[in-house]
């Protein structure tokens, strides 16, 4: 009798173990080893701002119209521990005030690609290449004593342009936030148009007679991209660039964008940039823009 009870007890344990194993196996999602994970997104849009006043408008003002276009795209590839992220941001806009020639109010070429290898759930080793420049000439406008104004060329395509190669460690505790520590960073500053010297004698740190300046530095980048409310997205990117040879002149740049989606095709966008670069100016630079426009995402 004891032997029969013992046999029955072992049978029950065996049955329970098999059932538990089957349940555990059923809960595991089997993924083929060659599965590729891609996430892609792109946006193209046009922004239009306009203002007009009657001749007797006591509040004052200048009739104006502004038109801008942009294209943003991002791709993210991940397989096991390997990750490859690329991003493109292209922006250009002009503004026309009554009594003045048209002038640009936004101009940006931003290309970025990063390859990472995950060391643990929150840390990655990465290599990154980044390019920043503009499409068209940029001018500083000065009033003349006898009336009128003159324009001085201060920038152009590849004048300046910044190409940065960086290697280091990335801390990524969440999908919407990451920190990149570029322990070994090299940046090339290009000035290929010598005509900017009259309006911008500093040449963005590139010595007279030279086309390129090389810097070896430490770079810190913080990225934040998250929907903070329904149909409201906040995107911020902070850059610290410290040339190992001149640590007393550290560059800082903060880009912030707040986008409210009105409907599928219309959005409102508030942007701001704060920049400190001693090679460009002793003072802090800033720009701000507010636009409503058409947006198509695909």
pLDDT single digits (tens) 215-271: 999 999 999 999 999 999 999 999 999 999 988 889 999 999 999 999 989 999 999
Residues 37-66: b if buried by 16+ CB within 10 A, e if exposed: eeeeeebebebebeeeeeeeeeeeeeeeeb
Return the pLDDT at 284.
95
CA distance 253 to 89: 16
Tell me: the pLDDT tens digits for 178-224? 999 999 999 999 999 999 999 999 999 999 999 999 999 999 999 99
CA distance 272 to 255: 6
Nearest to 160 by CA among 188, 179, 183, 182: 188
- Confirm if 186 and 215 have CB atoms less than 8 A apart: yes
Average pLDDT, the chain: 87
Note the pTM of the prediction, 2 decimals: 0.84
SS3 100: coil
């Amino acid at each position: 009798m004891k032997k029969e009870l013992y046999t029955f007890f072992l049978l029950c344990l065996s049955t329970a173990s098999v059932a538990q194993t089957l349940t555990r196996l059923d809960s595991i999602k089997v993924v083929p080893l060659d599965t590729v994970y891609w996430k892609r997104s792109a946006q193209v849009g046009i922004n239009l701002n306009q203002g007009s006043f009657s001749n007797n408008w006591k509040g004052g003002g200048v009739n104006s119209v502004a038109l801008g276009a942009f294209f943003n795209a991002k791709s993210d590839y991940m397989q096991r521990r390997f990750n490859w992220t690329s991003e493109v941001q292209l922006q250009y806009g002009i503004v026309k005030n009554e009594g003045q020639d048209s002038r640009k109010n936004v101009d940006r070429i931003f290309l970025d690609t990063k390859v990472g290898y995950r060391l643990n759930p929150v840390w990655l080793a990465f290599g990154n290449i980044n390019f920043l420049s503009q499409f068209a000439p940029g001018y500083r406008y000065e009033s003349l004593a006898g009336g009128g104004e003159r324009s001085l060329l201060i920038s152009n395509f590849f004048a300046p342009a910044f190409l940065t190669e960086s290697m280091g460690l990335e801390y990524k505790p969440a999908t919407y936030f990451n920190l990149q520590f570029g322990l070994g960073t090299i940046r090339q500053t290009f000035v290929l148009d010598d005509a900017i010297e009259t309006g911008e004698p500093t040449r963005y740190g590139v010595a007279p007679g030279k086309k390129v300046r090389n810097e070896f530095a430490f770079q810190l980048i913080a990225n934040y991209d998250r929907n903070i409310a329904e149909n409201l997205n906040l995107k911020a990117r902070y850059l610290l660039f410290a040339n190992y040879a001149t640590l007393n002149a550290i560059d800082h740049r903060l880009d912030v964008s707040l986008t409210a989606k009105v409907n599928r095709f219309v959005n409102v966008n508030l942007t701001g940039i704060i920049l400190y670069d001693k090679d460009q100016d002793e003072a802090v630079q800033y720009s701000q823009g507010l636009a409503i426009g058409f947006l198509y995402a695909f």
